[in-house]
Copies of this chain bind each other. A is one copy, B any other.
Amino acid sequence: MSDAKTPEPIQFYFDFSSPYGYIAAHRIDGVARHHGRTVDWRPILLGPIFKLSGGAPLSTHPIRWHYSLRDFHRTCRLHNLPFALPEKFPFAATAASRAFYWIDHTDPSLAREFAKAIYDGAFAKGLEVWTADGVAAIAAAQGLDRQACLAAIEDPHWKDHLRAITDQAAAAGIFGSPFFIVDGEAFWGNDRIPEVDAWLARGGW
């Protein structure tokens, strides 16, 4: 019998429409693994959260948007990730997020692969991940049943589940994407991943 407690997973909140969420999705598992930690992936919808926190999509203001576009491309090149802005941006990630929780309910590992496929579809492959059909096609490519995925997207259970998780995230003070909770400590942004790494290494500072 050991006194060592199993450490809490890192909570990784993200919106599928978030370019920095896409980048973080390719980084956070590696950082966690390096410290013997796991990650709970939690898609949320920033739309209702922005209404509470006064946030706005990065594309709202032309001057900031000009910089953001350049920073997306530059940050992706730095991390050896392809980047192409989706035809529709920002997009409502409702269908993809509901499908995620439907998969996650039975197979969290597959749900993570699905999430990465949605992100890559959105920001690298030009796929229409904002439609139920686009989402179901990506699920099908993961070996899931296309019709069952479409049904889950329309199922009130998964609608309510996504809404509840988004509400809980807002209540916990989460206001952006990506957003990490590490042993109760909040970190906002892909650019805070080095700090997440240091926090895990040192147990805080």
Q: A residues bordering B, Cβ < 8 Å?
A: 52-56, 60-61, 63-64, 66-67, 70-71, 74-75, 77-78, 173, 175, 186, 188-189, 191-192, 194-195, 198, 205
Contact = CB atoms under 8 A, between A and B. Distances in A.
Of the candidates A60, A64, A75, A194, the one having the most CB atoms from chain B within 10 angstroms of its own CB is A64
Contact of A64 (B60, B63, B175, B189): B175
A191 B64 CA distance: 16
A63 B63 CA distance: 25
A135 to B, nearest CB: 30
5 contacts: A55-B61, A64-B175, A67-B186, A74-B205, A78-B195
Given A53-B64, A54-B63, A191-B192, 18 more contacts: A52-B63, A54-B56, A54-B61, A54-B64, A61-B175, A63-B173, A64-B175, A67-B173, A67-B175, A67-B188, A70-B186, A71-B188, A74-B195, A74-B205, A77-B205, A78-B198, A78-B205, A194-B194
A60 B54 contact: yes
Main secondary structure of the interface of A (DSSP, over half): helix
A205 B61 CA distance: 27
A191 B66 CA distance: 19
Nearest to A189: B191
Nearest to A170: B63
A67 to B, nearest CB: 6
A202 B55 CA distance: 35
Contact of A66 (B61, B77, B173, B189): B173
A193 to B, nearest CB: 10
Contacts of A186: 67, 70
A58 to B, nearest CB: 11
A175 B52 contact: no
Nearest to A54: B61
A77 to B, nearest CB: 6
A66 B78 CA distance: 31
